[in-house]
Amino acid sequence: MPARDAPIPCPCGLPRAYADCCGRWHEGPERLQAPDAEALMRSRYSAYALGRLDYLLDTWHPSTRPSELPPLERGLRWLGLEVRRHASTDADHAIVEFVARSKLGGRAHRLHETSRFVREGGRWFYVDGETRG
């Protein structure tokens, strides 16, 4: 068990404290200012893991953003993230391929997706993704 004052590890899997990793993009003066598509994707994974639906909507591009997100399923646990590829297609467009693992009701699940991101006005946004079987 971690010490009472030990920093909370970041859900995205990087070996950093949440406050020094995805937490800074979730709140505070750097909110919504992820420096690249991979950082934004990692912060979105952490937002799913922590139930931060507001952040997910705020980082979704307006052209594809739903008006609201359904509540996360009760008992859903996010188990880990593996970023397989991050590539810039030009200065303002990038893709991130990842596998996110979760568990719900005793069943393990895997989401393998290649996501598209765009930078507008200096901010990165999630556009959409293609899932793989």
Tell whether 88 is covered by a domain: yes
- pLDDT, mean over the chain: 94
Residue-wise pLDDT for 53-75, tens only, equals 999 999 999 999 999 999 889 99
Tell whether 87 is covered by a domain: yes
Neighbours of 52 (CB within 10 A): 19
Tell whether 1 is covered by a domain: no
Taking the model in full, what pTM does it have? 0.92
Q: Are 99 and 82 in contact (CB under 8 A)?
A: yes
pLDDT of residue 4: 64
- Count of domains in the chain? 1
Tell whether 12 is covered by a domain: no
Tell whether 7 is covered by a domain: no
Q: Are 89 and 22 in contact (CB under 8 A)?
A: no
In terms of residue numbers, what domain contains 118? Answer: 18-132
CATH number of the domain bearing residue 22: 3.10.450.50
pLDDT of residue 6: 76
Sign, Cα dihedral of 77, 23, 90, 93:
positive
Tell whether 13 is covered by a domain: no
Does 3 score more than 60 pLDDT?
Answer: no
Token pair of 115 as six digits: 């996501």
Residue-wise pLDDT for 94-127, tens only, equals 999 999 999 999 999 999 999 999 999 999 999 9
pLDDT of residue 32: 96
Tell whether 8 is covered by a domain: no
Does 1 score more than 90 pLDDT?
Answer: no
Return d(Cα 74, Cα 63) in angstroms, integer.
Answer: 29
Tell whether 5 is covered by a domain: no
Q: Label residue 41 by pLDDT band (50, 70, 90).
A: very high
